[in-house]
Each structure stands twice: as structure tokens, then as C-alpha cells.
A and B are shown apart, each in its own frame.
Chain A
Amino acid sequence: MSNIFEESKTRAFIKNEGVDYNTTVTTQELPLEDFAENLQIDVISLNDEDITFDVKGIDPAFANALRRIFISEIPTMAIEKVNMWQNTSVIPDEVLAHRMGLVPIKVDPRLFEVKGKNEDHNENNCVQFNLHIKCTRKNTPEAQNRENDILPENDEALFNHASVYTSDMKWVPIGTQEEKFKNTPIRPVYEDILLSKMRPGQEIEMELMCEKGVGKTHAKWSPVSTAYYRLLPDIALKEEISGEEAQELKSKCPMNVFDIEDTGKLFVKNSRVCTTCRECIRDEKFVDKIKLAKVKNHFEFTVESVGMYKPEEIVTEGIKILKEKVKCWKNTMKGMEEDEE
């Protein structure tokens, strides 16, 4: 009994139906020393686009604060002002401008400042792109024959610039920017984002001004497509299962959490992949045989970068911002204490 009680402090149990009332975490006081000692971060996977890492020894409030910062408080650069000089394409100006805003820009935002309300665009708060493109007919007999125009699938073969891509955006350095970003030229993260389709005679000319901002203001400034975590599943067998039941249970799990030993005994092969579909404990006969739980203080984070930052940078930037926030709070609190005195 006490065992379960003890376990329920660290584990959230999953029932086969109804509401799992036990998952609410009671935040205990966490002395800094304990926190520092228990905190453990393991990177599970990392590539250009996303990172998955485990964080052990924190509570949801902490984890969530990080997650929220990743999504909405890490500043990036995004197109905010568009000067549309010419747009004879079928996409209306506003729609095109909105599309431009969502294009991720590969530039280190830490080198820029947030543009003040009354400030003009300058080399410290702005990155400028120009996009000037005109669709023309290619000089081939097929292209000159207008009857071919209606076939949408071969427009690339007939026309120059039938599709406008982000690669057509030209960076226009302001002031010393050219020098400053000599080694890391500013460009859109992806070259092949389709911006618009055009037909001969249509033209787009615009100036795109990037500003620094955060995801809170508009989702285009969010450095991540999403950042999330989940609690680590903890699956164990309460009693030995073998034979037909073992087979049944093994086949029930689409994620292959269970496997069968040579002896015919069921064992938990890989509990991490569990998606909590609960199919294994749906059947009454297995309810008491399997312990399906989540580790309350073990978070598996995933951060999917849009591309302005490397995924691991987002994590460190996020932690920095969290630190700043804590510092800020600390100062405020200090001030309040002094006031009281």
C-alpha cells in the first residue's frame, strides 16, 4: 500500500477509462541544491530541423515555461513591411504581403535591435530584400504558341519565371551590413518556397523590410513550428504474462512496446514509444496485470525549428530568456521587499 502511495508521488497512473484524477502534480518545494543535483538533460536526437531531449527533475511549470518561451518569446527577423511597387499577378497585394511575412529569414536576430515605434529602418533594426520579377514567354516555338498556355503542368517549360520562389528574393544590404554579414549572407531559409504563380506579362516588384519581433505578436516571428513535451511513459508488468495472453497483448500494441522472450514470457521491450492508446488495458483481464504510468518529472522535449535558428540554439536562447525573466522578477521582488522595509 505504502508502495503505491510512494509511487504515486512520482508516477501518474493511467486508467482504462474515465478521468485520470491522479495526474495533477503537487508542486513540492524544491531547494535549489536539490534541483541542481537532480536536473539531468540528455539529448536523444538532434538534426538540422529538430531536437529531442529528456529533462529529468523539473516540474510541469518549469517545463511549460520553457516551452512557451520557445514558441513565443524568442525574437527572430521576419518581413513586416512590404512596399509594393508593382503587382500584376493574380494574387492580391495583401495576400502576397501576408505570404511574404511567413517566409523564414536566415539571419542571426541577436545582431539586430527591435525597431522602435518612431524609429526609421536602419542597418541595426532592419534587413531589406527586393523582389522584382517578370514572367515572360520563352523563345521556343512551343512557348510562342498560345494554345499551349492552358496546360498548367508545363508552364515552367514555356515561360520564364512562371513560379516565383523565395530564391528570387535579393538581399539589399543597408549601411555596413554587407561587411558585417560577409561570411553569412542573409537569405531566406529555404530557396524553394513558392510565393506566386505568374503568366507572361505579369510582374511583381516589391521591397521587403524585415523587422525583429516575437511570436507573441504574430506567429511569423515564432522560431519554432512547434515545441512540446510529453511525460515519459513507464510501463511494467505487475505479474507474469505468458502463452496465449502474451501473444494477444503483444499483438494489441501497434507500437510494439511488448515482446516475448524465448521462454514465452512477455516483457516490456520499449516503453518510451508508447502512445498511451490504452488498448492493452482495455480488456478487463489485463487491467491489473499491467502498470501503465507516466513519470511525473521526466519530460521528453521536442523542438521543431523553422530554420532561423538551429534547434539547439533555440533551447539555449530560451533558457537565457527564462533566466532574464527570473532575474527581472528577482529584482522586482527585491524592490518590493525594500519598499516594505
Chain B
Amino acid sequence: MDPDNDNSKEITQEDAWALIKAYFQQHGLVSQQISSFDRFLSYTIQDIVAENSIMSIVPEKQYAPGSNENQDRDLRYEIELGQVKVNEKPRFKEYDDKYNVIFPNEARLRNLTYQTSVYVEVTKRDKVTNSKGVEEVLEQSKEKEVYIGKVPVMIKSAFCSLNRIENEYEMKECFFDQGGYFIINGSEKVLVAQERMANNFVYVFQKKQPSKFSWVAEIRSQVDASNRPPNQFSVKLYSKGQRRAGGSFSGGKVFGQTICATVHYINQDIPIAILFRALNCISDKEILDKICYDQKDSHMMEAMRASLEEGTPFLKQEDALSWIGSRGAAGAVSREERIRHARDILKKHFLPHISTEDHCESQKAYFVGYMVHRLLSAHLGRATEDDRDHYGKKRLDMAGALLGMLFRNIFRRYVKEAGRVLKNCADRGQPLNISKAFKKDVITDGLRYALATGNWGTNAAGEVSKTGVSQVLNRLTFASSLSHLRRLNTPLQKSGKLTKPRQLHNTHWGMICPAETPEGQACGLVKNLSLMAFVSVGSTAERLKEILENYGTENLVSIEPENIHNATKVFVNGCWIGIHNDAEDLISNIREMRRSLFIPKEISIVRDITNREIKFYTDQGRVQRPLFIVKNNKVLLKKSHVERLQSTIKSQAMDFNEALAEGLVEFLDVEEEETSMIAMNVEDLQNRQYCSTYTHCEIHPSMILGVCASIIPFPDHNQSPRNTYQSAMGKQAMGVYTSNYQLRMDTLAHVLYYPQKPLVITRALDFLHFKELPSGCNAIVAIACYTGYNQEDSVIMNQSAIDRGFFRSAYYRTYCDTAKSGEHFEIPDVTVVGRRHGDYTKLDMDGLIFPGKNVLGDDIIIGKTALPRRTFERDMEYGNVIKKDDSTALRHSEKGIIDSVILTSNEDGDNFTKIKMRAIRIPQIGDKFASRHGQKGTIGMTYRQEDMPFTQEGITPDIIVNPHAIPSRMTIGHLVECLASKVACFQGKEGDATPFQDVTVEHISNDLHSLGYQKRGNEVMYNGWTGKRLDTRIFLGPTYYQRLKHMVDDKIHARSRGPLQILTRQPTEGRSRHGGLRFGEMERDCMVSHGAARFLKERLYDVSDCYSVHVCRECGLMAQANVRQQKYLCKGCQNNTDICQVGLPYACKLLFQELMAMQIAPRMLTND
């Protein structure tokens, strides 16, 4: 290219944003969820069906007397499940059997499940074994579409009805909604990605002493992309002086540290030499060849000596196999049987990721050798222990993988059940009824149950294996929904004291947000993906293996062991497939293929130069991120590309995929990232002082942050925990959580009246749609002590601003109810039993309240009556049915206006209603607010405009925060935001607060000064009451504030008297039940130490469960008493004179009675 050409010019950091924009246009923010689900429904489901495809049904032979028909035939039915067909649009079957295509919003409103039907092609073959012992197909029939169940559909996936709709809002969807969740029974569910250790990795760990072993090399082996549980295999090196327990065959003559192996299904550790011999490596030389690639490596040879000596009694493969077989599950059987058993285990259950076919012994032996090699290298101090927390060795199970696991379990159960039914049929000699055998609801209900509860799968004992996998999508703010869809969870015992897995690891860079994690128990275990992080979907390794072979990889079967030392080992998905003599060449060839998208972009290519290994990964669940490709210290993406990225002309425009295909950017996973040299920014490339061999360049360093942390302006100026606090708080901020909120019926929702986009924003906010759906206001904030009403993290707020609508919000709550059979929506009349004490008069004729009605606590909003459980028509006719009231009342602490009412039918055809109430929340003392820097506070006082301090321009602050909030928290970003906002305000532009850029405080200050203001944002102010000039200047400027969902109106609570619990007659607990405030142990201790006995008695007895019983003074047990007739009797003693009354808590009386029920007599002995 012409070097003078303008278009071949190097890009600047600013140009990177064009690419970032293209990335988000293509991928959105939830593509990891959607692509994973699409793969599940398009491929995985077919694979799972294929896995369990053939059912063989052999009918029990019936010898019915009198009929000789078919009696001696060996009839066998074979049922094959073939092609899976998934309906491309979710449909819903109405109660009147009409099928309708449903859209998400209808599913949400009617509490339906957004799911689509799955059909399978079933082939039935009747087979008969003829006299020659050959099977013949008698008859073959095909049923094209056998319905097997319904699968929930992810919103905006390839199977979603919205896919064909051009404008989402026509279907009453939010314009900005990105999908990525399910709708189960009307509630939106997210499948939170689950983090786990990767399979097929060899890990070498040092054991903490004292322990039997000093080093262990482990692998969890699993067949590629299958969801079978992995098989654990480990190679262990004994500690010094440790001897194998029960190793009688060696006669205890072996000295030194031996190596043994633990194999799945074999109950005892196998000496490594025996394992090798079982794998047909007979001579010691053969064994050593597999382990020590360098024949001159005397140290490693020496380390093997003891292990080889240990194996001397078993010099034949059969002996070794027999030894192994006798320790398997089969136990004491014939030698042949044992050998066969051992062979079988070694074939199928031992290192299955290498192969489960015949003749794979040599490959497996090489792999065991490799593991021993790794083990000994670590033992000899040549390699270090592996890092458990390295993110390259972690995999994320996204929605698709999780559903795959679940579906596999359910489907297996389902097929088994179907087989049983069919067998029953066949046994009775009836024709096989396929559509009847395949039950309709097993799969549908199984999937729905897991998604509705989050209880993911059950283990053998029927216990829930994982909980909290499926969560209700957080809909408080748009950002909180987005963040929820990018969340990942580590299923680790949260109580564990181990801190390491919770810590931020170097390898998290660019993949996991460093700021966004909850505080407390789940800290560091629940994480969030960085903005540009993407999770690999997985692809088959077969094609890659072919390519590798074509490019000169020598297969392990055909190589000479001596060659290994000088060649590079080639691994694909953890499986050692061969060696290659020119690693550099191979790597660059494959890399070029990936860069031109000849092979999938998500395949990772890792070259470990020191260990002479090349590793390829194609599996799913690897976190990846895009990076600029650098050649000769120059980013390959040039100005000309940037122009194409920005171009609006279709023929010239370039999207992100084209950038990938042209080899300008590529995705790297953590493992590959480790082997590349990445420049932090474009400027670093030009400055060659540090490095001149960069291979990649960051697209923008601010992309390491996640959704919530990207909202923070100048996060690079804050103390790091403050960013974490804000990341948590941003999720509680009110805003516009979705643009279709008026059409939705969320149980709880807050909407800000007048949301504003921030004056100062980060560039990433464009992609989060924060400007379109903001969650806060630009408030004029003064940092001052004005009166004392903003101490201890409270703030003073301008009442006049509140009057004008500052931070007003609407609050929505939805009540819903179903009229099941025997129940009716109607106004319960006075004859109905169990009427509430609320106001029934607000109900409309249909028993539901109407929109626009003012309601307050305990008003009845849904009138519903229920017939007694056993009601006969006869009773109805005679009208002697007493109906029960089952109405719904408004929560007693709330009031508002009915916003909307819907009445519809649900899945079962029952009448179903949802009622939305709206209330206006005006900021008041006690409401919570926060800036974007983890600075939260409640309103301590409101002052009118004239009482507020004012500047010489007449500006009065909206919020006054206390200066003490700043120094110890070190949220400098807060101050910089204020300063930058002030400049932005006067210049009429958006301020840029993207982190890791070269905007400095000095720049902002100078801009502000040139506008005629004090450089650092301070202002002279006048006291609003006295009118005097304040002696100090005050830091004043606009700052973006958020209103948090915690409001006093939802918290205020007091009780003088109220409801009691039925069992103990103590006051109820909690605000929603009008409960009492607990006078707890510590309060009691306090009173005890004061000696305030009477007060204590009052608190714990008189105002709690005060009660009195009559006690027989002879036996000390409770006596019968009829106070009105003055008659007392102790039945046991026949005593009706010597009885006294005792006051005691009802709970105490209850205890005594329970003790008596257990044959313990608590006697109350009374004095005179």
C-alpha cells in the first residue's frame, strides 16, 4: 500500500471506538447467552436424542394355550429416535384447543411459559431372528413427528417469535431489551452462568505434608462436548518413607518414592508400572520411553527406578490386567473374566477423552507417560505447581450447556419410561402405541420445574444438586437487568474460609469485571463478565485434527519415542494427538486460518515454548475477548478500516465480522492471551522502549470493566472498594427499567418521573443504553456543612427543587389472583364467611377494583369467594352453600391509585387477574440517595430555596453533602465528576469520564477557569438565613445522583397492639404482619444489669403472651377451672379445693403441655 496514502495511516486510540461500536452492534451485551441457547436448541438437543436413540423391546414370551402363533419366533421391536424438529415459533394452546403464536409480552402478562414444541421422528422396526441366527426386519414404520414435549425459549434467540418482527414495540416489547432470558409462568428467568474447572487438563499439585503423597497429577477426563460426568484419573508420587498399604507383592523391598495411579472403577491404587504393562508397554525401556523423552535425563530416570522395581512381579500384560481386574467391581471371577473386565475399563472408563475405541492403548500409555513426566518435572523442581485459580482452566456453563445437562437427565428418564410402557404393551401382545408411550408432560414439566425454581437436576439420591441456577431477572434498572444477564456464579461452599478463589486473579484481566462483585458471603464468587468478554460456544475438533494432520503432525501411533524430545507435542482439547517438527510453521498456518475464519474464530491456539507444546482448544465455555492484531509493532487496523467501520454506505461499510475475517482483530481466550504480548494502548506500540515484539493490542483498557462499573465516571480516580460499592448500588437506583413499563405488570417497579442522562459519561454508556434509559438526575451538589443536618452520611435536599419534581418517582405494585375451580371473582356479600375488615365498597361489579380508584391499606381490591370443598349441585340448588371469602386486600402499609386491571385466562383456562397499583413517591426525610461513587446517604433535612446558601449567580444547591464523606473514602472521582460536569454544563457538551484516558484534572480546571469560574470549582456563597457571606468557599457543581429503592415509607413501622401468633400467642413478627419490635437478648441483658425488674416483666410478659392457669397444689399440674361457676377440679387428685391461679407466659404453658405429651410431668410448686 502507498505509505503516503492518508488511509493507511495508523489509528489513534479514539478510532478504537469505531470498532467497539461495531462489536456491540454485532454482539450486543447478551450474545453469550443467546448463542449458547441457539446451539443447544439447534444441535445439542439432537445429539442428546441421538445418544439415547435406540430402544430395543423384547416382549416376554407368552405361552397362551391353544394358540401356537408366533410362539417360537424371536420377535424384537426396535424403536429409533431420529431427526428432532423444533417448532420455530413458540405457540400456546388455549384451553379451547386453539393454537396461537404467542409473544413474550402475552406470556408475561398471562403467567404463561414461553416455550416451543419439540418433535422427534420415530422409526419402529419389528425384527425377527430367523433360523440362521440372522436378524431380519419384518416391518418398518415411521412416524414423522412425535411430540415429546416443550422447551422454554430464550427471548431474542433464533427460535423466538420476535425474531421475525421488525419493530419490537409492535409486540409491546421494550425497544432496548436484549433478550437472553426465559419466561416461565410469567416470570422472567435468567440462567446464571456456572463456573467450573475445565476438564481434560492435567493439573500437578503438591500435597500439603503430612500426607501419603508428595505430588499428584490429576485429570478429569471427559469425552468432547458430551455431558457425561467426567472420569477422574490421577498419578501420585508417594512421600518419602511412605509405603503402599497392603502392597504385599513387592515384599516391602522397594525403596524410594514410587508412583501409583488411581483409576475410576478400580478400588485400589495401581502401581504405575502395572498400569503401563496393562497398556501393553512391557519392557522397562518401553515404559521409560513414554515418560523420559530425553534419554540422557538421568535425574528423571533415577526418579522412576523405584516405581519400575515395584512392577517387576508383573512382566506380562495379562498379569497386569488380571491384577487390575481383580480390584475392580467384578471381584473374584475367573482370570479371563478379570482380564476382560480390566480391558473394558481401560477402554471405556480410563481417559475417555483420548478414545473409547479399541486399540487406543498406545495413545493412552503416551498420555499416562506425559502425566508422569509432568509429575516428575514438578518433583524435580523443574516445574511449579499448577495454579487452580488460573482463569484459562475455568469454563463457564452458559444457558445452553446448563439446559443440555438438564435435558439429558430428563430425556434419559423419559426414554426409560417410554421403554417400560412399550415393553408392557409388547408383553401383552398389543400393538405398540408410540404416541401414547411418549408422555406429554415429563420433559415440559421437568424443564419448567428446574427453570422456575432454580433447582438444577437431581442426583441419584433425588437430592437437588445445584440451586439458584435460574434466577428472577432483576428489573429495577436497565443496567441491573443487563448486569444480571452477564453474571456468573462459582458453586463453591460459601462458608469456606479459602480466600484464594475469591481473589481477583491476574488472568481475570479483560474477562471479569474487577469491581463488580457483591460484598459479604458471595464476595468474589459471584462475578460479572467484562463488557467485551464473550463465551465460546464450542465446535467440533474433528476438522481441526484433520487440518493438523495435513500440516504434518505425526500421529502418536506411528512415531518413534526418541523423536519426541526434539519435537513439539500437539494437543487438541487436552488430548495428545501427536508431535510436530516445525512448531512455528504449524502455529502460523493455523493462526492464519483462524484469522481468515477458515476455522472458527473461537478456536484457541496456545504455544508453550518452554515445554515444547502446542495446545488447541475448541470446547465451549472459554471466556474470550477481541484484541487488535499487531504486526511489526503496528496495529493492522488502519484509518481506512476505521472509515469503513464508520461508513453508513452499505457497500463500503464493514462490520465486526468482516474485521475478523480480514484478520484485523481476533478473539483470544485466557490461555492464549498468556502466550501473547499485548500492548495496553496504541501509543505504547509507537513507543518502542518497553517492547518491540508486541503481537496484540488492547482495543481499549476501559473494556476490562463490566456493566455496572462502566457507569462510574472516572473510576480510575477512586479507591477500588468504592467502585465495588457503586457497582452494587447502581442496581438499586431507580430509573426507567424498560421502555414498555406501562404495558408490563411487574410485582414491584420504580420509575423516575424525570430521569436525565448524566452530564459526564463514560464512552461505554452508549452501548448500555444508559442515555436512553437513565437512572438518576444531575443535581447541583454542594459539599458543605450547612446546619448539622447532613452528618453521618445524610444529605440536605432542596425542598423547592422537590416541589418542582426533583427525584419524584412512581411506584408500581401488582397483585394477582386466580379463580380456580369453585372460586369466583365477585363482590363477597355479607353472608360470606371470613370477611376481612377491609373496605369492600371499592370493588366494581365484577369483583375487581377499577382503574383510577384511590386505595389505601387493607382495602379489598380483588373480591373472590370459594365454595366449600365438598359442594354438590344439590346444595347449590337449595342455596344452602356458605361461601368462604378469599379476597385480596391491599398491603396495609401502602396506598395509591389503581393503574390498570387485567382479567384473562391462564394455561388451565381459569380466570386470572392482575391489578397494578401506582403510588407517587416524593423525596422526603429518610429516603436514600447516592452518587455514582459509592457515596450513599439519606435525606436528613429539606430546606426551601430561600434557606439554602446561594452563589453570586443565584445558584442554590439541590443537595448538600457533608465534607466528612470525602477524605477517608478517597472518592476523588466524585470531585472530578463534579468539576467536569460543571465544565460540561457551561460548555453545553457531554463530559468524557472514560477511565484510563489522558484527561487530567488540570485540563478540566483550566477549562473551568477560562469560563470565568474558580479553577477548582469553589464558589463564594451567602447564607440563606442571615444573608451574610460565608467565610469559606464551597465546592459546588452538578453531580449525577441516583435515587435508591430504599424509602422510609416502605420502612416506617410501629405497633401498640396488634395480631398474635396462633401457636404461642406472642406478637407477630415483621412489618408486613403489623408485628412487634423484638425486645431481644441484649436488650434484656441491659435491663437485667439496670435491675429494672418490673420493666423487664412488663416487656417480656405483660405485653407479650400474658396468660394464667390454675394449678393443683397437690400434684402441681394444671387443673380444670370454670371461673364463672367458681368450680375448680384436678381430675387426677380429685382435688377441688386446694387450687391456685398462676400467671405464666402462654409459651410456657405450651411447653408444659408438650412435655406432658412426652410423659414428663412439669410440676409447679406454689408457696402460700
A: residues with CB less than 8 A from B are 12, 19-21, 23-25, 60-61, 63-65, 67-68, 71-72, 90, 92-95, 98-99, 102, 150, 215-216, 218-220, 222, 226-231, 254-255, 275-279, 294, 302, 304
Q: Once the chains bind, are A219 and B945 in contact (CB under 8 Å)?
A: yes
Q: A277-B1009, A277-B1015 are in contact. Are A67 and B1027 (CB under 8 A)?
A: yes
Asked if B1029 lies at the interface with its beta carbon under 8 angstroms from chain A, I say yes
B758-800 residues with Cβ-Cβ distance < 8 A to A are 799-800
Complex Cα distance A19/B1018, Å? 13
Asked if B717 lies at the interface with its beta carbon under 8 angstroms from chain A, I say no
Asked if B1081 lies at the interface with its beta carbon under 8 angstroms from chain A, I say no
Complex Cα distance A276/B1020, Å? 7
Asked if B201 lies at the interface with its beta carbon under 8 angstroms from chain A, I say no
Q: Once the chains bind, are A304 and B1031 in contact (CB under 8 Å)?
A: no
Q: Once the chains bind, are A95 and B753 in contact (CB under 8 Å)?
A: yes
CB-nearest residue of chain B to A70? B946
Q: Once the chains bind, are A67 and B1014 in contact (CB under 8 Å)?
A: no
Task: List the B side residues contacting A277 at CB < 8 Å.
Answer: 1009, 1012-1015
Q: Once the chains bind, are A60 and B1031 in contact (CB under 8 Å)?
A: no
CB-nearest residue of chain A to B175? A150
Cβ-neighbour of A226 out of B945, B1013, B1015 (below 8 A): B945
Task: List the A side residues contacting B1026 at CB < 8 Å.
Answer: 60-61, 64
Q: In the complex, what's the smallest C-beta–C-beta distance from A247 to chain B, in angstroms?
A: 17
- Encoded as 1 (CB less than 8 Å from any A CB) or 0, chain B from 213 to 231 comes to 0000000000000000000
Q: Once the chains bind, are A72 and B1010 in contact (CB under 8 Å)?
A: no
Cβ-neighbour of B1009 out of A63, A65, A215, A279 (below 8 A): A279
Q: In the complex, what's the smallest C-beta–C-beta distance from B681 to chain A, in angstroms?
A: 34
Q: Once the chains bind, are A72 and B920 in contact (CB under 8 Å)?
A: no
Complex Cα distance A226/B1022, Å? 14
Per the CB 8 Å criterion, the residue count for chain B at the interface is 46
Task: List the B side residues contacting A61 at CB < 8 Å.
Answer: 1026-1027
Q: Once the chains bind, are B945 and A71 in contact (CB under 8 Å)?
A: yes
Task: List the B side residues contacting A304 at CB < 8 Å.
Answer: 954
Asked if B1121 lies at the interface with its beta carbon under 8 angstroms from chain A, I say no
CB-nearest residue of chain A to B742? A90
Q: In the complex, what's the smallest C-beta–C-beta distance from B917 to chain A, in angstroms?
A: 12
Cβ-neighbour of B804 out of A71, A219, A279 (below 8 A): A219
Q: A67-B946, A72-B945 are in contact. Are A230 and B803 (CB under 8 A)?
A: no
Q: A64-B1022, A226-B950 are known contacts; what are 9 more A-B pairs with Cβ within 8 Å?
A: A25-B1028, A63-B1027, A68-B946, A93-B852, A215-B945, A275-B1012, A276-B1014, A276-B1020, A277-B1013
Q: In the complex, what's the smallest C-beta–C-beta distance from A56 to chain B, in angstroms?
A: 16
Complex Cα distance A318/B1026, Å? 18
B856-897 residues with Cβ-Cβ distance < 8 A to A are 897
Cβ-neighbour of A228 out of B808, B952, B1028 (below 8 A): B952
Main secondary structure of the interface of A (DSSP, over half): mixed
Q: What are 9 inter-chain pairs, A to B, with CB distance below 8 A?
A: A63-B1027, A72-B944, A216-B944, A220-B804, A222-B945, A254-B1010, A255-B1012, A275-B952, A277-B1013
Asked if B169 lies at the interface with its beta carbon under 8 angstroms from chain A, I say yes
Asked if B504 lies at the interface with its beta carbon under 8 angstroms from chain A, I say no
Cβ-neighbour of B800 out of A90, A93, A150, A222 (below 8 A): A222
Cβ-neighbour of B920 out of A19, A95, A220, A254 (below 8 A): A95
Q: In the complex, what's the smallest C-beta–C-beta distance from B17 to chain A, in angstroms?
A: 26
Q: A72-B944, A227-B954 are in contact. Are A218 and B1022 (CB under 8 A)?
A: no
Asked if B330 lies at the interface with its beta carbon under 8 angstroms from chain A, I say no
Asked if B956 lies at the interface with its beta carbon under 8 angstroms from chain A, I say yes
Q: A94-B920, A255-B1012, A277-B1014 are in contact. Are A228 and B950 (CB under 8 A)?
A: yes
Q: Once the chains bind, are B1028 and A24 in contact (CB under 8 Å)?
A: yes
| Most A C-beta atoms less than 10 A away, residue of B918, B950, B952, B1011 | B952
Complex Cα distance A51/B742, Å? 45
Task: List the B side residues contacting A92 at CB < 8 Å.
Answer: 810, 897, 899, 918, 920
Complex Cα distance A218/B742, Å? 29
Complex Cα distance A216/B945, Å? 9
Q: A92-B899, A275-B1013, A279-B1015 are in contact. Are A102 and B805 (CB under 8 A)?
A: yes
Complex Cα distance A215/B800, Å? 9
Q: Once the chains bind, are A226 and B1028 in contact (CB under 8 Å)?
A: no
Q: Once the chains bind, are A254 and B1012 in contact (CB under 8 Å)?
A: yes
Q: Once the chains bind, are A98 and B808 in contact (CB under 8 Å)?
A: yes
CB-nearest residue of chain B to A99? B805
Complex Cα distance A63/B897, Å? 46
Q: Once the chains bind, are A150 and B945 in contact (CB under 8 Å)?
A: no
B1103-1155 residues with Cβ-Cβ distance < 8 A to A are none
Complex Cα distance A98/B922, Å? 11
Q: In the complex, what's the smallest C-beta–C-beta distance from A298 to chain B, in angstroms?
A: 12
Complex Cα distance A149/B955, Å? 41
Counting residue pairs across A and B whose Cβ atoms lie within 8 Å, the total is 120
Complex Cα distance A60/B1021, Å? 13
Complex Cα distance A65/B1027, Å? 8
Q: Once the chains bind, are B946 and A72 in contact (CB under 8 Å)?
A: yes
Q: In the complex, what's the smallest C-beta–C-beta distance from B1013 to chain A, in angstroms?
A: 6
Complex Cα distance A220/B944, Å? 12
Asked if B652 lies at the interface with its beta carbon under 8 angstroms from chain A, I say no
Task: List the A side residues contacting B163 at CB < 8 Å.
Answer: none
Q: A98-B805, A150-B169, A254-B1009 are in contact. Are A294 and B1015 (CB under 8 A)?
A: no
Asked if B2 lies at the interface with its beta carbon under 8 angstroms from chain A, I say no
Q: Once the chains bind, are B1027 and A219 in contact (CB under 8 Å)?
A: no
Complex Cα distance A65/B953, Å? 18
Task: List the B side residues contacting A102 at CB < 8 Å.
Answer: 804-805
Q: Once the chains bind, are B803 and A219 in contact (CB under 8 Å)?
A: yes
Complex Cα distance A126/B667, Å? 70
Complex Cα distance A158/B1028, Å? 56
Q: In the complex, what's the smallest C-beta–C-beta distance from B948 to chain A, in angstroms?
A: 10
Q: A60-B1026, A228-B952 are in contact. Are A219 and B800 (CB under 8 A)?
A: yes
Task: List the A side residues contacting B1012 at CB < 8 Å.
Answer: 254-255, 275, 277
Task: List the B side residues contacting A65 at CB < 8 Å.
Answer: 1027
CB-nearest residue of chain A to B801? A219
Task: List the B side residues contacting A60 at CB < 8 Å.
Answer: 1022, 1026-1029
B942-968 residues with Cβ-Cβ distance < 8 A to A are 944-946, 950-956
CB-nearest residue of chain A to B805? A98
Q: In the complex, what's the smallest C-beta–C-beta distance from A291 to chain B, in angstroms?
A: 17
Q: Once the chains bind, are A278 and B946 in contact (CB under 8 Å)?
A: no
Q: In the complex, what's the smallest C-beta–C-beta distance from B177 to chain A, in angstroms?
A: 16
Task: List the A side residues contacting B952 at CB < 8 Å.
Answer: 228, 230, 275-276
Q: In the complex, what's the smallest C-beta–C-beta distance from B1029 to chain A, in angstroms?
A: 5
Q: Once the chains bind, are B1032 and A93 in contact (CB under 8 Å)?
A: no
Task: List the B side residues contacting A99 at CB < 8 Å.
Answer: 805
Complex Cα distance A227/B949, Å? 12
Asked if B167 lies at the interface with its beta carbon under 8 angstroms from chain A, I say yes
Complex Cα distance A275/B1032, Å? 15
Task: List the B side residues contacting A302 at CB < 8 Å.
Answer: 954
Q: In the complex, what's the smallest C-beta–C-beta distance from B676 to chain A, in angstroms?
A: 46
Q: In the complex, what's the smallest C-beta–C-beta distance from A102 to chain B, in angstroms?
A: 6
Complex Cα distance A216/B803, Å? 11
Q: A60-B1027, A94-B920 are in contact. Are A230 and B1022 (CB under 8 A)?
A: yes
Cβ-neighbour of A275 out of B742, B810, B946, B1014 (below 8 A): B1014
Task: List the A side residues contacting B1015 at CB < 8 Å.
Answer: 277, 279
Q: Once the chains bind, are B803 and A220 in contact (CB under 8 Å)?
A: yes
Q: Once the chains bind, are B803 and A19 in contact (CB under 8 Å)?
A: no
The 5 closest A-B pairs by CB, nearest first: A64-B1027, A228-B954, A219-B803, A230-B952, A60-B1027
Q: A61-B1027, A64-B1027 are in contact. Are A228 and B810 (CB under 8 A)?
A: no
Task: List the A side residues contacting B920 at CB < 8 Å.
Answer: 92, 94-95
Cβ-neighbour of A94 out of B801, B897, B1023 (below 8 A): B897
Complex Cα distance A277/B1010, Å? 11
Q: In the complex, what's the smallest C-beta–C-beta distance from B1006 to chain A, in angstroms?
A: 10
Task: List the B side residues contacting A218 at CB < 8 Å.
Answer: 803
| Most B C-beta atoms less than 10 A away, residue of A93, A94, A278 | A94
Cβ-neighbour of B1022 out of A21, A24, A229, A254 (below 8 A): A229
Task: List the A side residues contacting B1023 at CB < 8 Å.
Answer: 64
